[in-house]
Structure formats: C-alpha cells, structure tokens
Structure 1
Amino acid sequence: MAKLNARDEARRSAREVDGNNRADYSEALERGLLVLTAFDHSEERLTQAQLARKLELPRATVRRALLTLTHLGYVIPDDKAYRLGPKVLTLASAYLTTNPVSHVLQPVCDNLAEEFQASCTAAVLDGAAAVMIARALPRHTLPIGQGIGFQVPAVRSALGLVLLSGLDEESRHRHLATHSGLDEKAMATLETKIAEVATAGHSYVANEVEAGFHSIAVPLRRWDGTSIAALNVGTAVERMSEPEMHERVLPVLRETAGKLQPHLV
C-alpha cells in the first residue's frame, strides 16, 4: 500500500480520534469533493495535471473524479481543462434553503452594511476556512466570487479567529493540527492568540486577508451559549479608523449578537 502523505495521514488520524470506523468512510467521495473545491476565482479552469498537483493526488484518481463529476454535471470540460458547472449552485442552494441561520442573518447583514457603509458578513468554520453564509455590501453589487460561499483563511481573519475561539482547547488543538499546516512553535503562538480572542470576546484584524482592509468580529451563539457562527464588519482602513472600529462598531455587533441569540438554533 502506498504511504499516505502528511495531509491524508492527518485526516485519517482525525477520523480515528472522532471514533469513526474507517471501513465506513468513503475516500473516493472525499477526493471527488476535494476536486470540486479546488476551483476558485483565481483558478477558474484547471487541467487534470494541475488538479493532481494542487491536491497531491494521483492523476488517475483525479481523472476518475472528473469523469464522474462531468457525467453528473458538476464540472464541464473546457478545451483541455475543466471548470465548474452551474449545477454546483444546487449544493449551495440546498444549504441555504435548509439552514435557518442564513435566513435570520442575511437581513441583519443588510442593515449593518447600510448603517456603517461597510461590508458585513456572517461565517461558519469549515476546515481551514471561514465560509460566508450571509453577506452584504452597502449599495454595491458584490464582486464575483466574494459573496455567499466565499472563503477566507481562518487563522488570518477576524471571522476565523472568532470561530476558532469557540472551540474547546482540545478540539482547537486537534483542528489546528489537522488544518493549519503550522509547526509546533507557530501553532502554540496561534493558540495563545486564539485564547486571547476567546477572553476578549471579539477579534480585530488589519492588513491580513487583504492589504488596506480591516475588520472586527464577534461570536454568534445559539440559545444554549454554544458558538455556531461569527459576525463581522469590515472596511478600508482609510474609511474608518481602528478606534472607530472598537468604539463605534464593536458595541453594535455585541448588541446585535445578543439580540440574535434566542433566534439561533
């Protein structure tokens, strides 16, 4: 049997810690989904070879996944490359139409975006990313690829740090070991930073995800106090100062989160 690479070894270890029976786990399905999520706004078209390199998978594995996804309509051949097909939208639609949290948060984001004339986003944790489930910009069309479903790195974004702070210490350590790709020293530093976010109850990040942009985020908790999402406001640093973010925006985000709590399940 071929030796697992570090990423797959970490995934398998995580499954064992979670108590799953490896015989019940479909690695073929996992790899098919990895192929789907490899496409993004910076890489809209990818060849088999590019996908194999990016995902560190054998080309034969990628080829089988692409042929299956093409047959199902989720990817479309484009010359010698592939791109996502419109059917992928049905996956997002299914999530949004069955997830009451998105319905509750979208009007909240709309209102906050208008109030502060800044972007407002709600996100959940998904592996190494914070994934947007509701988003609004003030009187602007969202840039393509930066609306619902757009991802930002969890360890570098205000949304992501707040989401990670909602995990208990053991779960947080296991999550970072699996998804961060950091060595032990860097991970220890990050865990200290996340613990500080948990104590403060918010996270402020500037010039990390995007140069000249800063944001501030708070956790969204459901009725029993469990953190299930994060809410942020972000804008260009020249539009709003850091003191304004803390003194003007943060109290409103906290008040909004408190009002939302009884409605989140």
Structure 2
Amino acid sequence: MEDEPDEARSRDRIQSIERGIEVLRAFDGRNSALSVADIATKVGFSRPVVRRILLTFAHLGYAEQAHGLWNLTPRILELSVGYFGASSLPEVSYPFMSEVVERTGETCSVGTLDRHEVLHVARLEDRRPMPHSVRVGTRLPAHATATGKVLLAHLSSEALEEFLATSPFEVHTPHTITTAAAMRDRLATIREQGFDISEEELHPGMVAAAVAILHDGVAIGGISVSSTTVRASEEVLRQTIVPVLQEAAARISAQYRYANPHLSQRQHR
C-alpha cells in the first residue's frame, strides 16, 4: 500500500498535542525561564493559546510559574524514561564513552539525526573546560558537524536527496559547507574513509572527529570527540582519535545488538 499523502495524514493528527510539544521545545538549553510573550514569539502562537497550554502543563506538574516567568519542573524527565532505558543507545554508550574520554582526554558525545539537526543524546566531558559546550538535548546543524555528516553519509538515497533539497545550509564560519554539491563530495569521502573530521565548520577554534554507530548496516547514531585547535590538529584527530572512536563504535554496536535482540535485521529492511 502506498503512503497516504501529507494532507490525508494531517487529518489524523491532534493539533493541540502538536502545539503543546512546540511550547515544550521553546524551553531549550539557552532559555529555561520564559514569559508567555517570549514563548508566543518563539512558537508563533497567540498569547492566550500559549497561556492555556502552560496552565495545562502546570496542572499536570510539568511546568510552574514564578514572578511572571514559566519554567519546566523536574517531573518533565518522566517523559524521557521510555527512551533512556537500559537498552537505549545512551545507556549502552556511556561505559564506552567513558573509556574514550579516559584515553583521549577530550569530550565525547553521541548524537542522532533528526531532520536537519543532530540531537545530542549522551555526552561526557573531560575536566578541561570546553568553549561552546553542549548538553544532552542540544541540537546542532547536521551539515556543520562531524557527527551530522557521518550520519548523513549513511542515509538512503531518497532520504539524502530530501535533506540536500531542503537543508538551509546556514553559514556559521568560512569553513561551513554551504552547497549540496560540496556536501555530496564530502559524504563520498566519508563513506570511503569511514569517519569525518570537522575543522572550524560550526565554531572558530573548534575541531571534532566522528564515526557512525551501525546496527545491521543502519546508522543508529554517531560518536564523536570534540576539542580545540589549540589542543588537537587534523593529524592528531586522524591518527590518535579516530581509531579510538572506531573501536568504541564497534563495541557500542555489539552491545546495542545484545541489549536489543528484538531489533532483527528484518526490521531495518
């Protein structure tokens, strides 16, 4: 059976839930306390609609108001329990990420692809402070990050074409990839060598290396090490960091398979 067109599927969606999720997403890592007006501006809803949604979340215990500002409560973490279980990618990855940090002395992250962005689902930092530090839940543009590109390199042809046709390719530094043609060339190199190294493509002075975590040939995530140009060069990343990441990715993949025996190869076809 062919997929239903978008307009047909939209009739089966509940708009109030979609709006509620948009309001929750307004509380990102940079904005933990917001006014009704702030949220209305961010999500594009009227203030009365935003207020009713916030009052609903407050009734459920997921939000609270103080001095005219709204913030989420710790109870919101209940909503992530189903994902962050013992067999989830973050929980499986953390022991191996700890080894990566110990062996490299650098920050290690695991991310997944969500449309045009990389969503960080696990992160461990070395004791040395990192500029532009991200947290679990932070989203970064896929086209400007090493993790994003190794995940893009493993997309199906159809999914990749959709990404290339719709990605805004925003410019972050002079080194950011800004065209579909340049991205195609970069992804071909990644498929050939099995990793990516990003030099100052998102932030000046920042470098990163990443490897895909594969399950039955499908990239379920990417593991990366990020550093600064002061501490690590491309050669250092290639010679010393990439082999550590490749080993960690293989071990995470094996453990993920063991923890999720129900995810057979047939389910990925």
Q: Same fold (TM over 0.5)?
A: yes
Q: Percent identity?
A: 29
Equivalent position amino acid for 1:234 in 2: S
Q: Distance in 2 between matches of 1:37 and 1:15?
A: 28
Residue deviations 1:87-107 (CA, integer Å, cap 9, x gap): 122223332125432222101
What are the residue-to-residue correspondences of 1:106-255 with 2, within 5 Å?
Answer: 106-139=94-127, 146-175=134-163, 177=165, 180-182=167-169, 186-222=179-215, 224-255=216-247
2:34 counterpart SS class: coil
Partner of 1:90 in structure 2? 78
**Unaligned 5+ residue runs, structure 1?**
1-13
Quote the residue 2:253 is aligned against. Answer: 261
Q: Are positions 1:104 and 2:92 aligned together?
A: yes
| Alignment-derived partner of residue 260 in structure 2 | none
Distance 1:15 1:187, change over 3 A: farther
Q: May I ask how many residue pairs the two structures share in their alignment?
A: 248
Distance 1:194 1:47, change over 3 A: farther
1:16 aligns with 2:8: no
TM-align CA RMSD: 3.0
TM-score under structure 1 length normalisation = 0.81
Q: How far apart are the structure 1 equivalents of 2:162 and 2:254?
A: 30
Amino acid at match of 1:207: E
Cα deviation 1:54-100 (Å, max 9, x = unaligned): 12233333223222122222221132221121112222333212543
How far 1:117 moved relative to its partner?
A: 0.3
Match of 1:56 in 2: 44
CA–CA distance in 2 between the matches of 1:137 and 1:47?
32
Q: Is the 8 A contact 1:157 1:208 kept in 2?
A: yes
TM-score, structure 2 as length reference: 0.80
Corresponding residue for 1:34? 22
Task: Report Cα offsets for 1:209-232 as digits up to 9, x if no partner.
Answer: 33322110010001x211110001
Q: Counterpart of 2:263?
A: none
Letter in 2 for 1:181: P
Superposed CA offset, 1:166-211 (max 9, x none): 2112112334555x3359x844544554444334322211223333
* Secondary structure in structure 1 of the residue aligned to 2:197: strand
C-alpha contact (below 8 Å) 2:96/2:251 kept by paired residues: no
Distance 2:24 2:104 in 1: 35
Is the CA contact (8 Å cut-off) linking 2:97 and 2:248 kept in structure 1? no
1:16 aligned partner, one-letter code: P
* 1-structure distance, mates of 2:70, 2:101: 36
Question: Do residues 81 (structure 1) and 69 (structure 2) align?
Answer: yes
Question: Which whole-Å CA distance do the structure 2 matches of 1:41 and 1:15 have between them?
Answer: 36
- Taking a change above 3 Å as real, the CA distance of residues 236 and 33 of structure 1, as seen in their structure-2 partners, is same
Contact in 2 for aligned 1:74/1:87 (Cα 8 Å): yes
